Amino acid sequence: MEQVKQGDWVQVHYKGRLLDGQVFDQSDGRPPLEFQVGGGQVIRGFEQGVLGMTSGETKTITIAEEDGYGPRRTDMVMQVDLSDFPPGVEPEIGQQLRLQREDGFMFMVTVMSISDTKATMDANHPLAGKDLIFDIQIVGISLEPTMEYSCSGCHHDEISDCQSHSCCEDACCHPNSENE
């Protein structure tokens, strides 16, 4: 049987959970996740975990934080004056906001706390600093992508550019509906 190797396009179903068993994401009810092994479109540990698997094979992998979303970084926690928020935007604890730097780069932050004058926001990925467990099933292996993608709603020109950026979540890089 053909084994997954660098450069292959793979289609996988997965369930991701934390060490305490809490499920944070899964492909149930959606088309399989498709990515090119070595393309940097998924976290390194996930990519390494599928290497050598065969079509139809299922396995469970544990990904250490450094091969997942990295350690939590204190330099990615910032305080913003409430007066700097646009009119009508009132931050709430736990709310996720999309911010744009002066150079145009978009990124997500989570509101951690609010005082009378400032909001503390965290730009770390919500899974940063956590070890992850994935149940993976290889659905297919191919030399080319099998799905057509639409890329709209973000600032990237290529699917491969935006699949690796959290700023594009829910805005693009989804399989076209006729292929679902």
Tell me the β-bridge partners of 18.
Answer: 132
Domain boundaries of the chain, sorted by first residue: 9-69+128-146, 74-122
CATH 3.10.50.40 for domain 9-69+128-146, yes or no, is: yes
Fold of the domain built from segment(s) 74-122: Thrombin, subunit H (2.40.10)
pLDDT at site 150: 54
Q: How many residues does the chain have?
A: 180
Task: Let me know if the fold of 9-69+128-146 is the same as that of 74-122.
Answer: no
Q: What are 123-177's pLDDT values in tens digits? A: 999 999 999 999 999 999 999 998 775 555 444 444 444 444 444 444 444 444 3
- What is the pTM for the complete model shown? 0.74
Q: Which helix (H) or strand (E) holds 50?
A: helix 44-50
Query: What pLDDT score was predicted for residue 51?
Result: 97
Digit-coded pLDDT (tens) for 95-121: 999 988 889 999 999 999 999 999 999
Q: What is the pLDDT of residues 38-67, one digit of tens each?
A: 999 999 999 999 999 999 999 999 999 999
